[in-house]
Copies of this chain bind each other. A is one copy, B any other.
Amino acid sequence: MPEASPTPRDLLVVAATRLLDDGGPQNVTLREVGRLTGVSRTAPYRHFASKADLLATVAAGELDRLVDAVERSADDRDPAARLDAAMLGYLRWARERPERFRLVFGHWTEENDDLRQAAARANRALVDLVGEAQSVGGLPTGDPWRLAAAVRAFVHVIAVLEQNGHLLGRDRAPLSAEDLVRSFRPGATG
């Protein structure tokens, strides 16, 4: 069966994502989003309540894609290596799409059902990965939700630090984000 043809709404999201990649949320203007999709500059208001709502929709979609990318990174790995591979996949996604990464975890969006559901899905996927790692002995036992929070915090922090240049040395070699991630060996999480 053929691809469902994209709705006007989908086209607006695609255009907004392009503008986001080009220059961050400030570069996303509803007027330009309209122009890029061949409609007037007020047409986006037929589909989104505001610019913040449009950005929240973009963020929800990108969070889903982040989860997909992380899960693909873990595929085809032996069980012991899956969590490490997933963390490296997260890091790579953040590095290759810095503006989307900042949008997803930043303060540009509004409370929005799409975004809340995407966040819930993302958390569920991570808890599954962590539970799996526990079952093959790659992580200590304990509340998987709590351990997943630690994993998420750790890898997220590394990604943020790398984006903000905190890992760079001026006269010495930069710290490797990948090395830092691979060094993650949590103790008990009582």
> How distant is the Cα of A173 from the Cα of B142 in the complex, in angstroms?
15
Copies of this chain present in the complex amount to: 2
Residue A6 at the B interface, CB < 8 A? no
Interface size class of A (residues with CB under 8 A): 20 to 34
B153 close to A172 (CB less than 8 A): no
B157 lies within 8 A of A161 (CB): yes
Residues of B within 8 A of A160 (CB): 156-157, 160
* A65 sits at the interface (CB 8 A): no
A46 sits at the interface (CB 8 A): no
A190-B169 Cα distance, complex, nearest whole Å: 15
Contacts of A172 in B (CB 8 A): 143, 145-146
A9 interface residue (CB < 8 Å to B): no
A154 to B106, CA, bound (A): 19
- With A157-B156, A157-B157, A158-B157: A149-B164 Cβ-Cβ less than 8 Å: no
Interface residues of A (CB under 8 A from B): 24, 102, 105-107, 143, 145-146, 149-150, 152-154, 156-158, 160-161, 164, 166-167, 169, 172, 175, 179-180, 190
